[in-house]
Amino acid sequence: MGKKIKDPGLGNASAASAERMMNPNGSFNILHLNKTRRFSEAYNFLVEISWWYFFLLTFVVGFVLNAIFALIYLLIGIETITASTGNLSEDFFNAFFFSAQTFTTLGYGAMSPEGMASGIVSSFEAFFGLVVFAFITGLIYGRFSKPRAAIRFSKHIVFREFADNMAIMFRIVNNRRSIMIYPKVTVTLSLTKQNEDGEYTNSFYNLKLERKSINYLPTTWTIVHEVDKESPLSVFTKEELIKQQGEFLIMISYYDESFNQEVHQMHSYTLEELRLNYKFQKAFYYNTDGKMVLDHKLFDNIEKLNNT
């Protein structure tokens, strides 16, 4: 059996009920207990949530901060801003509008502070509002400029005849129009077994690939592991293989042309997901003008092989 390696950083211990180590989106399947929260993680959180969630959060936070300042103006006395209407909810709305006009440094002036207390609070609020918008500006740029790998992995991983052996194949496509430069791939197989003492342990193998890297990835790339005699999978029959508890841990690195940085993306397929005797449908072709066409709709398509 092929190149067994030391654990790649995951430890060899396992458990009967152990779930997959890596989620399909490439994150590790680990629960953190008693972790101290750090402010810098708030930034990472705000940069990684979706745009809709980000805007919702921004407006909710803005609304709440304004409401708090509105309450402070009410406490100080609405008459230090504008004439009281004699109606608390109307006064609150006026205080809220004044607060919003101050927070955003709009300052129409139809309402304006009179006296020390509202003078101090409104000066502070304007300053505070600008700092909040400095934060929002930083976050928006942080969201924009965060380099994100944009590899789309095929939904399926297939197990099919290839040359004289069987082979395991999955494919990737560039999800952006930009060029991926020097993509490199490594596939680590983790196999879980029960030893004589009844303990579950993981073994790790670096799988040999037909090609480990290409120069650029403008279309699709099918990554192939041939199950030859060297392969750790050669000891199983096709039917046995799919029943093993195991996982393909994939890491792809490339230089992203739009972010001008080296980026990494991870993905995982389990052995259970292997589709026996399927092949991928070609996703690009030349049209009548001689232009190469890449059809993203075809990317996940697989076809049953005839010989089965």
Please pick, from the candidates 4, 238, 296, 304, the single residue that binds a second copy as defined by CB under 8 A.
296
Q: Report the interhelical angle of 51-76 vs 116-145 (nearest 10°).
A: 170
Stretch that binds a second copy, among 90-98, 154-162, 237-245, 269-277 (CB under 8 A): 90-98
Binders in 213-232 for a second copy, by CB under 8 A: 214-219, 221
Say how many CA atoms lie within 13 Å of 270 toward its Cβ: 14
Please pick, from the candidates 69, 73, 80, 97, the single residue that binds a second copy as defined by CB under 8 A.
97
Question: Does 295 interact with a second copy (rule: CB under 8 A)?
Answer: yes
Sign of torsion over alpha carbons 23, 46, 251, 200: negative
CB atoms within 10 A of CB 74: 17
- Please report, as a single letter, which amino acid is at residue 26: G
Map residues 34-73 to x or -, x wherever contact with a second copy holds by CB under 8 A: xxx-xxxx-xx------x---x--xx--x---x-------
Question: Does 86 interact with a second copy (rule: CB under 8 A)?
Answer: no
CB atoms within 10 A of CB 276: 15
Question: Does 144 interact with a second copy (rule: CB under 8 A)?
Answer: yes
Pairing of strands 302-304, 278-280: antiparallel
Q: How far is the CB of 256 from a second copy (least distance, A)?
A: 9
Q: How far is the CB of 216 from a second copy (least distance, A)?
A: 5
Question: Does 306 interact with a second copy (rule: CB under 8 A)?
Answer: no
Stretch that binds a second copy, among 72-80, 95-103, 164-172, 273-281 (CB under 8 A): 95-103
Question: Does 245 interact with a second copy (rule: CB under 8 A)?
Answer: no
Cα gap 207→1, rounded to integer Å: 12
Binders in 123-142 for a second copy, by CB under 8 A: 123, 126-127, 129-131, 133-142
- Please report, as a single letter, which amino acid is at residue 108: Y
Binders in 161-200 for a second copy, by CB under 8 A: 175-179, 181, 183, 186, 188
Residue whose CB is less far from a second copy, 22 or 159: 22
Residue whose CB is less far from a second copy, 148 or 243: 148
Question: Does 212 interact with a second copy (rule: CB under 8 A)?
Answer: no
Question: Does 82 interact with a second copy (rule: CB under 8 A)?
Answer: no
Largest CA distance in the chain: 90
Q: How far is the CB of 295 from a second copy (least distance, A)?
A: 4
- Residue 10's nearest CA partner among 30, 25, 26 is 30
Binders in 10-39 for a second copy, by CB under 8 A: 10-11, 13-19, 21, 27-36, 38-39
CA distances from 78 to 97, 102, 128, 129, 247 (A): 12, 15, 21, 21, 65
Question: Does 275 interact with a second copy (rule: CB under 8 A)?
Answer: no
167: β partners: 160, 226
276: β partners: 159
200: β partners: 194
Report which secondary-structure segment, H or E, holds 285.
strand 284-286
